Amino acid sequence: MKIAYTIKLLSFSVLILCLTSCANKHKDGEYVAYFGGEIINPNNPYVLFCKDNVVIDSLKLDSNNRFFIKFDSLTPGMYSFKHEPEYQYVYFDKNDSIMVRVNSRDFDNSVAFCGRGDLKNNFLMDLYLKNERDRNSMFKVFDYGIKDFTRTIDSTNLSTLKFYQTKKQEIKWSNEFDVYAKAAVDFQYFSKKELYPNVHKIRTGNDVFEEIPANYYDYRKNIDFDNVALENYSPFVMYLSHMLNNMGAINYHNHFTEADLALKTNINKMQIADTLIKNEKLKNLILDNIAFTYMLEDQNMVNNKSFLESYHKFSTDKSKRNEIAKMGRAIQQLKVGNTLPNVMLLDTNGNQVPSDSFKKKNTVIFFWTGRSMAHFEAVHKKILEFQKQHANFEFIAINLNDSQQDWLKVLKSYQLSGITELRCANFEDIKAKWAINKIHRTIILDENGKIKNAFTNIFDTTFEDNFK
């Protein structure tokens, strides 16, 4: 076994040397680039090479699960590679020759680049993993008062900035790459600040909007909301979503019903986006995100019609209208009193479990993924508490996107009891039929197995009302 592994590593090293040899043959003025690598434990036989979410090339794995491509002309910039369902970014400067090695069973943690251009890409991966660890530890921090919260995130951001500055000096990357590197640092920090007021209120029930210092959002003044380079870069796009959720919040909510408040808040968010973002492509992307989220959260048909009228006024992206309409139809099937659409699930033995075979009794269905273990722990802890208080309820956990092996490994390490643990067999199917787009989503069925609430959040302070 050890000999075989050594041969495998040597073979991969030969591939890297070949790539390096090719890379040294560039002529001035050429934009030749090479991209290749190896996928360990592949999920499918392809790697997709993309620019701005558009597939440039579909790369087939060979018998050794490797891929390789030469680009005669590749414009420097940010790209991504996908091995479904996972993806990661890869940045190319002029004439870069980059190899990547990935284990699909632990995709993000296993990504390693080598070759010409590897240092800056490994930095991005290190920063991404650092931010993910930080994000996973943030649940309790959002419970803090404004002073302690600010002190905590400022300290973390200072550490991240030092890491960024050290690597920037060591690697001496281009100004073009620095746009993405600095964005990955800044928007992680800015997102926390935008999230805090709303998340704090959801988790604690306390409204801190009036306690926010006057200079708290000063960083917004220096953000270029029309930066074309960042229009598809997830740290920036996610930040915009968090910011609009925050800016669009209506604090005089006592004047409205819950449904009317949701409508006015989301129309407000679209108006802000329309005013703030002049880049049409980016604005449409943000408007589409607002529309999808709203349609999932508000099932008032009259209000949905009003919302869509506003959406069509602001958005120029006609291609997304069919998707949003499809989402609307799926939501219609999730009305209170309806039967939950059937999806196929798997138990710990790999046996198929159709959701329509669930017992006709009070049931809480919740979701998790191995990519967010902090959420996994928090939601299971919450469920175990509810279990003690509500013995007449069935509690079903559904893992959304881990492999059978990784799923079982997590379950074995935690040894949970009293909760029915299942895994979805087809994420796209459950996503379409149950309109799943948030990990915090929770579905409640009544004693007859009918939908009682298909759009609740287990961490909402009013969640326990669902047990009445």
Element (H, E) at 91: strand 86-92
28, part of any domain: yes
- The winner for highest mean pLDDT among 154-163, 299-308, 407-416 is 154-163
Banded pLDDT at 254 (limits 50, 70, 90): low
| Last residue of one domain, picked from the residues 85, 116, 147 | 116
Comparing 290-299, 313-322, 419-428, which segment has the lowest mean pLDDT?
290-299
pLDDT at 47 over 60: yes
For residues 238-242, give the mean pLDDT: 92
CATH (domain of 107): 2.60.40.1120
Q: Count, in order, helices (H) and strands (E) of the chain.
A: 13, 15
For residues 434-443, give the mean pLDDT: 83
The structural domain count of the chain equals 2
| Predicted pLDDT at 153 | 95
295, part of any domain: no
| Predicted pLDDT at 421 | 95
Q: How far apart are CA 36 and CA 22, in angstroms?
A: 12
Banded pLDDT at 152 (limits 50, 70, 90): very high
| Predicted pLDDT at 301 | 61
pLDDT at 196 over 90: yes
- Who wins on pLDDT, 62 or 24? 62
Note the pTM of the prediction, 2 decimals: 0.68
| Last residue of one domain, picked from the residues 116, 143, 163 | 116
Taking alpha carbons only, the member of 184, 180, 245, 190 closest to residue 220 is 190
400, part of any domain: yes
| Predicted pLDDT at 18 | 43
pLDDT at 158 over 70: yes
Alpha-helix residue ranges (DSSP H) falling in 425-465: 427-434
| Predicted pLDDT at 29 | 52
Domain that holds residue 57: 2-116
| Predicted pLDDT at 303 | 77
CATH (domain of 399): 3.40.30.10
User: What is the chain's mean pLDDT, rounded?
Assistant: 86
Residue burial 108-118, b: 16+ Cβ < 10 Å; e: rest: eebbebbbbbb
51, part of any domain: yes
- The winner for highest mean pLDDT among 296-310, 327-341, 358-372 is 358-372
pLDDT at 10 over 60: no
Banded pLDDT at 4 (limits 50, 70, 90): very low
71, part of any domain: yes
Banded pLDDT at 188 (limits 50, 70, 90): very high
Banded pLDDT at 322 (limits 50, 70, 90): confident
| Predicted pLDDT at 23 | 46
207, part of any domain: no
| Predicted pLDDT at 265 | 87
For residues 225-254, give the mean pLDDT: 85
Residue 231: count other Cβ atoms within 10 Å of its Cβ: 19
For residues 250-279, give the mean pLDDT: 82
Question: Are 366 and 375 in contact, with CB atoms under 8 Å apart?
Answer: no
Taking alpha carbons only, the member of 83, 84, 74 closest to residue 51 is 74
Alpha-helix residue ranges (DSSP H) falling in 252-372: 258-276, 280-297, 301-314, 321-332
For residues 52-57, give the mean pLDDT: 86
> Which structure tokens are listed for 71?
């680009």
| Predicted pLDDT at 411 | 92
For residues 266-289, give the mean pLDDT: 89
197, part of any domain: no
Task: Name the residue type at position 103.
Answer: N
| Last residue of one domain, picked from the residues 74, 97, 116 | 116
